[in-house]
Chains A and B, each alone.
Chain A
Amino acid sequence: MTKSNYNINDAGFYGEFGGAFIPEMLQKNVTELLDNYLKIMSDPEFKTELRTLLTDYAGRPSPLYYASRLSAQYQANIYLKREDLNHTGSHKINNALGQILLAERLGKKRIIAETGAGQHGVATATVCALKGLECVVYMGETDVKRQAPNVARMRMLGAKVVPVTSGNRTLKDATNEAIRDWIGHPEDTHYIIGSVVGPHPYPDLVARFQSVISEEMQEQLLSKTGRSYPDAVIACVGGGSNAAGAFYHFIDNPDVKLYGAEGAGKGIDTPETAATMAVGSSGILHGSKILLMQDKYGQITEPYSISAGLDYPGVGPLHSHLHATGRATYLSVTDEQALQAALQITRLEGIIPALESAHALAALNMIPLRKEMNVVVNLSGRGDKDMDTYTHYFGFDNEQN
């Protein structure tokens, strides 16, 4: 079998991106994970336990829904992969369940995580409650404020939520703080990274746990369209985990167009953006070589997006590579465009999406569509956590609306 050009190599690189740029203080933890993750993940007992939890606990498979009114609007067959219907409300549970089983088998007693929108934090707090493990979630203070319902959920689940006050007080800063915690706990702690970022093997590990998304799509598309692959897949990209999962089984199929939607904030020609592909360059952050938003001297630029989950100054090494090779196309979606797309799908389909997922929906306006095309949009999360933002922006607290 020929190896795909888009696979990770033995040193953990996708093309020029990836690797493990970690201080000696993390070598033990990361090496332990690297030496064991594939072995554990291929163990039949592990697979059975994960499969059972994904089905009976998380509610998988998530439906693939033919959105007829949205399809009529865009003159193409639009399918929504309903990750928003998973337990905890997003795709993050796929990875959290996988990693908690991994942590258990590594003998870890304490779990740490970073979170932006709080979706990964909630998923991690949930699986820790399920397994009775101690859980500490680092969250930027800005995000603690803008995603208050998720903070309350994490605390109700028994997690300790630590507001992070460095930098812009968002996802990047929460990740720094989680890494610092991990440095101080080299024996008993597993770090459940929420996206396809971080040192090797995390990007591969998380992509594998999220790959269930495209695995299910294949079967569902076969029964609905008679073909096991779509013409295009669209997913939003912060670090890139839901997109990695939605692309995974189609990456080697050139007939499937792959689109990532980045948070452009107020626009890529303004400093208030998080569209790394549009404005970034190669660099090293959080343990791997990726595309990064940085200045001339390699200082990381503070990102901005209305969506806390996309408010990250880098994209994982897989996406950096898919971008560099032209295999996937990354689109810049502004706050405004995402908000309008959120309202559109709510009114056409009765689905309130997460702000992150709304970016993927907005991308429907930016790609060439034809009537016979089958397009899957990965609806990565539900919008409950964003109701404050929607209410404020659209004025739903006013009777006129």
Chain B
Amino acid sequence: MNRIDNLFQTKKNNILSIYFTAGFPNLNDTEEILLQLQNAGVDMVEVGMPFSDPMADGVVIQDSSHQALLNGMNLDILFDQLIKIKKEIRIPIILMGYFNPVFKYGVNNFCKKCVSAGVSGVIIPDLPLEVYLDEYAALFDQHELYYIPLVTPQTPDQRIAKLGMKSKGFIYMVSTASITGSRPNLENNHDYFLRVRKILPETPLMIGFGIQDSNSFATANKYANGGIIGTAFIRTLKEASMKTDYKEILSHKIDAFIQSIRGN
């Protein structure tokens, strides 16, 4: 069974997913960060595939992508890193990024590598559902790779229903009309959250964009199965990386961050 399905079948609420950019702060931090997140009790991890032109991202994720590329990160290296720790990973791994690097890598080749690296799904914001269905759905199905769609406050009801029907795993509910790293008041959009839930009563929903602390994570849990945190976590990594004893404190910093979100 796909690990994403397994997760949402065994846990209905308080699901925490963390995003970080592969290759940031250092090229070879990917493995340690992933394992530490798993140890800290994170339910799912979204590993960012850095891109030179991240058009839906705010400054923090832009900078982390830029640094990761300067560090030499690419898809071959990322797959090698994931394969290395595959046996130790029990939680679902999702790759998230823009379409061009995947397209250039070859979508077929990419899907195969995802399987061998233990990747359960992908989030590619600029690969819209229509193109995915026309050109890539068969390939993804063949590799049991899930295409996770986004919905936004502006997505019409019919389209929400279609996105729910045509995708697998869960729906990424973008909290507000913005790029990543914004700090909206999530409660302002509760009508939207309830609308999506009403249209898709059975589909696992995760809220992302603007989740940064235990309060906003609690709001996400109120309206969805859980929340996704990216920018706030990357900021934590960046702060840790500026310390001289970075290697020693990294795991502690990650633990402390996750605890602060879980509120225990």
Chain A contacts to B: CB under 8 angstroms: 11, 19-25, 27-28, 166-167, 172, 176, 179-180, 183-187, 281, 283-287, 292, 294, 296-300
Contact = CB atoms under 8 A, between A and B. Distances in A.
B157 to A, nearest CB: 13
B178 A284 contact: no
A298 B102 contact: yes
A42 to B, nearest CB: 25
A299 B52 contact: yes
B103 interface: yes
Contact of B127 (A21, A25, A300): A21
A297 B126 contact: no
B105 A298 contact: yes
Interface in B38-77: 51-58, 62, 66, 69, 74-76
Closest 3 pairs between A and B when the two form their complex, measured CB to CB: A298-B104, A298-B101, A23-B125
A224 to B, nearest CB: 45
A19 B128 CA distance: 10
B154 A184 contact: no
Contact of B99 (A21, A167, A187): A21
A300 B100 contact: yes
Contacts of B127: 21
A24 B151 contact: yes
A300 B156 CA distance: 33
B126 A23 contact: yes
Interface in B124-148: 125-128, 130-131
A167 B66 CA distance: 9
A292 B58 CA distance: 24
B126 A28 contact: no
B228 to A, nearest CB: 15
B249 interface: no
A27 B155 contact: yes
A284 B53 CA distance: 11
A300 B159 CA distance: 32
Contacts of A298: 51, 100-105
A228 to B, nearest CB: 40
B161 interface: no
Contact of B103 (A166, A185, A283, A286): A283
A24 B128 contact: yes
Interface of B: 51-58, 62, 66, 69, 74-76, 98-105, 125-128, 130-131, 149-156, 159, 174, 177-179, 182
Contacts of B174: 24-25
Contacts of B130: 11
Contacts of B151: 24
A297 B74 contact: yes
Contacts of B99: 21, 284
Nearest to A173: B53
B153 to A, nearest CB: 8
11 contacts: A21-B126, A22-B126, A25-B56, A183-B178, A186-B152, A186-B153, A284-B98, A284-B126, A297-B74, A297-B104, A299-B74
A176 B131 contact: no
A185 B100 CA distance: 25
Contact of B179 (A24, A184, A283, A296): A184
Contact of B75 (A27, A28, A292, A297): A297
A24 B150 contact: yes
Contacts of A167: 52-53
Given A22-B128, A186-B177, A292-B100, 9 more contacts: A23-B55, A24-B125, A27-B152, A176-B54, A180-B58, A184-B178, A186-B153, A284-B99, A298-B104
Nearest to B97: A298
Contacts of A20: 128
B152 A24 contact: yes
Nearest to A29: B154
A16 to B, nearest CB: 11
B56 A183 contact: yes
A283 B100 contact: yes
B150 A296 contact: no
B195 to A, nearest CB: 15
Contacts of A296: 74, 104
A247 to B, nearest CB: 27
B177 A183 contact: yes
Contacts of A285: 53, 100
Contacts of B155: 24, 27-28
A284 B179 contact: no
A297 B55 contact: no
B105 to A, nearest CB: 7
A286 B103 CA distance: 14
Contacts of A22: 126, 128
A25 B100 contact: no
Contacts of B58: 180
A186 B128 CA distance: 17
Nearest to A180: B179
A21 B56 contact: no
